Structure 1
């Protein structure tokens, strides 16, 4: 699987494997990012995926009250 003479291809395969692991471990709140990454015509790199994840705004917890 990773046996190849070209180190660039090996790194690309490792990057794809790490991306799959990250996508698999995402909570449901990040489902839109997961779906976007899986349906895109090009596979994003791990860096691109993490960048997308950091831009997601999750709904705030309205049950908390501010101290008076």
Structure 2
């Protein structure tokens, strides 16, 4: 069983990871729009990595 402090720390990590994903996606979409290109592979990999971290963190709650 997790303590309230541990839950709060986990939620903090989840929120931080989600905000980083959203920010990176927004930057990449802005760049993509300017250049007429597609979302770069490195951003896609970062999104997948962050999503996996979110999934693992949520499983620990």
The TM-score range, normalised by the shorter chain, is 0.3 to 0.5
TM-score when scaled to structure 2? 0.47
Whose helix proportion is higher, 1 or 2?
A: 2
Which structure is richer in relative contact order (CA contacts within 8 A, separation 6 or more)?
2
